[in-house]
Amino acid sequence: MTRRAFDRPSYALAADFERALGDPAAESGPFSYTETVEHEENNALPPGAVDLVRSWGFARYLVPEDFGGRLRNLEQLFLLTRSLSRRNLTIGVMFGSAMLGVNPVWLWGDEKQRALVARGILDGDLACFAVSEPDHGSDLGTNETQAVPEGDGFVLTGEKWPVGNATRGRFVTVYAAVEGSGSSLLLLDKKELEEGSWDNHPFVRTVGLRGHDLSGITFQDTKVPAGALLGRSGGGLVGILQVLQITRTAIGATSIGTMDSVLRIALRHAQERVLYGEEIYRIPVIRRHLVQAHLDLLIAECTALPVARSLSVAPSRLSLWSSVVKYLVPTLGEEVVQETARVLGARSYLREGVASGAFQKLQRDHAIASIFEGTTHVNLHSIATQLPNVAQVADRPSRGGDAVLRQLFDWSDEAPVWHPSGRALRLTNASEDEITRGWDPAVAEACLVAERDLPAHEAASLTKVLGELSARRTAFYTRIAAESLDAGTTEGQDRAAEHCVYHAAASCLYTWLYSFDEEHGLAGGTGWLVLVLQRLLGRLEPATELDESLLPWLEELMLASLDGPEYFSLRAVKESAAQAEAD
């Protein structure tokens, strides 16, 4: 099985970053598993790790090109975050928290605010998003932090906790109730605040992400200078819901990075560990765990990357699509961790040994992925509230849908440049969901391709699984359209989860269709597509079995990625020509 190599800028950039970070399996280095685990024992980050990321220039990709940085689109940052997270998720979350803190500035800030924050981030400063409060969690309507107008500024009183980067961050985007206007977002620069009028909480002791600044901040009649308001007064709640659409999508990169690492650790162990006279990879149940984990990773990749591209293609769709990614990809990540833990057996529990004991860190760190930026239940609720409108038109292709789908799924071209604007984001997708609505035409096209170009067995397997998914899908959306769905019920949550399966199946199908190339092909043919669709169907019909005759295709891809710098992916990440020449 071969993968199509892309040498476009985003992939070349990710390859250069991979090279700079180095091999996590190396004996030493700030991103080696050995040093990562050693310093985690003391709740610390490996010396030099953050400096290496900064010296490479990662911070430049938190600042959009429009404001002096190098961030062209979210796909670019997604690929970089995946590389960073597969080595040390704690550091990935640190920069992710900074991204969350500055995105409101890019979306709604004025020219002065954007220039100030851009300079700071490019100089190495961090930011945070101070929204949560100790007694309210995700109940944003009960925000108690108050901002009283005083002159051209405010007097701020309240407590925010827990907040990533609350202590280390220079810039603080605060959610506060402005007297007379309603809840709003304020931009604070700690350098401009009166000493003694605010203080940070100690770091919270957490199960994972040890060494991460998860703390809090208390304001005590803090005088906030003029020019702190971000966007319109009273628009804070809407602003939060919109900015979370971006970071919920980006969290998919941390999950996929984790999946890549745990699969790599388990697969290498399965090849090296000998029991009963042969390597344990030859034991059928071990092989099944690894294959299923790899399929789930491919599903996650096909689902998340197009949504990352959508920020600069169809940003109004993110209200729905980002919640699909935020629910499904961390869920798949948790299952991949469980599958690979079964391969490692008792060694998955050890803080030493295989991969220097890194597996247990990856397992603990990834547990946060389904919690922050809205829990699993919060995101399923968001999907369920939009689902009735989607179901009403699920069988009607959207006007202009082909053009949108091509920009999302034809990854031979760069995603368009992102020009940040809060006006482009919406609280609901208003039934515009090209990914769901394009299913029937895509199935018809796939069946024609299968009949014309594929071996008989592959064509039959593809046609069969597409037919089974189509039948279930039609019945599902017909039922939703005919009934009233209460998003707050367990049924609403279950229906939202099922919608995510159909979204993922469509994403895998489009990935194949828009990358199908007679000369190069994607992933050597159609075997991977049949397998991921069967895997997704298995989430709805547990008795579904994988086509064993197609597994050698998948295993070839998986094993080819093991010892090189490549991702476990359908796409080969190709290094830049300049770097290759330098070597």
Q: What CATH number is associated with residue 199?
A: 2.40.110.10
Residues 224 and 244 in one domain: no
DSSP code of 174? E
CA angle 43–359–165, rounded 5-degree value: 35
Token pair 């096909």 is at which residue?
Answer: 302
Residues 413 and 275 in one domain: yes
Residues 354 and 402 in one domain: yes
- pLDDT tens profile 279-297: 999 999 999 999 999 999 9
Whether 72 is covered by a domain: the verdict is: no
Whether 16 is covered by a domain: the verdict is: no
Q: Which residues contact 55 (CB under 8 A, 6 or more apart)?
A: none
Please say if the pLDDT value at position 386 is more than 90: yes
Please report the DSSP string for 37-63 in residue order.
HHHHTTT-PPTTHHHHHHHHTGGGGGS
Residue 430: what pLDDT?
Answer: 84
Residues 216 and 260 in one domain: no
Using H for helix, E for strand and C for coil, what is the string for 381-424?
HHHHHHHHHHHHCCCCCCCCHHHHHHHHHCCCCCCCCCCCCHHH
Prior bond of 455 cis (ω within 30°): no
Give CA–CA dist 336/347, Å, rounded. Answer: 16
Domain boundary among 183, 198, 230: 230
Domain boundary among 230, 264, 291: 230
Measured over the CA atoms of residue 300, residue 301, residue 303 and residue 304, the dihedral's sign is positive
What are 183's strand-pairing partners?
Answer: 177
Please say if the pLDDT value at position 73 is more than 60: yes
Selection from 9, 105, 94 nearest residue 53 by Cα: 94
Please say if the pLDDT value at position 267 is more than 70: yes
φ, ψ (nearest 5 deg) of residue 419:
-110, 100
Residues 496 and 459 in one domain: yes
Please say if the pLDDT value at position 49 is more than 60: yes
Whether 85 is covered by a domain: the verdict is: no
Residue 515: what pLDDT?
Answer: 80
Residue 567: what pLDDT?
Answer: 81
Whether 29 is covered by a domain: the verdict is: no
Whether 288 is covered by a domain: the verdict is: yes
Phi-psi region of 186 (alpha: psi -120 to 50; beta: other; left: phi over 0): beta
Domain range enclosing 560: 239-564
Whether 91 is covered by a domain: the verdict is: no
CATH code for position 251 = 1.20.140.10
Residue 289: what pLDDT?
Answer: 97
Whether 99 is covered by a domain: the verdict is: no
Determine contact, residues 74/249, Cβ cutoff 8 Å: yes
Residues 205 and 301 in one domain: no
Residues 223 and 263 in one domain: no
Give CA–CA dist 365/367, Å, rounded. Answer: 5
Number of domains in the chain: 2
Determine contact, residues 253/74, Cβ cutoff 8 Å: no
Give CA–CA dist 510/435, Å, rounded. Answer: 9
φ, ψ (nearest 5 deg) of residue 464:
-65, -50
Residues 208 and 285 in one domain: no
Give CA–CA dist 221/145, Å, rounded. Answer: 11
Residues 348 and 285 in one domain: yes
Domain boundary among 208, 230, 252: 230
Determine contact, residues 326/379, Cβ cutoff 8 Å: yes
Please say if the pLDDT value at position 583 is more than 50: no
Residues 262 and 226 in one domain: no
3-state DSSP assignment of residue 37: helix
Residues 201 and 262 in one domain: no
Q: Which range has the worst mean pLDDT, 64-73, 215-224, 482-491, 574-583?
A: 574-583
3-state DSSP assignment of residue 176: strand
Residues 125-132 have a mean pLDDT of 97
Confidence of residue 465 (pLDDT cuts 50, 70, 90): very high
CA angle 374–296–455, rounded 5-degree value: 145
Whether 511 is covered by a domain: the verdict is: yes
Residues 206 and 253 in one domain: no
- Quickly list H helices, 157-207: none
Selection from 432, 253, 252, 268 nearest residue 347 by Cα: 268
Q: In whole numbers, what is the pLDDT of the chain averaged over residues?
A: 93
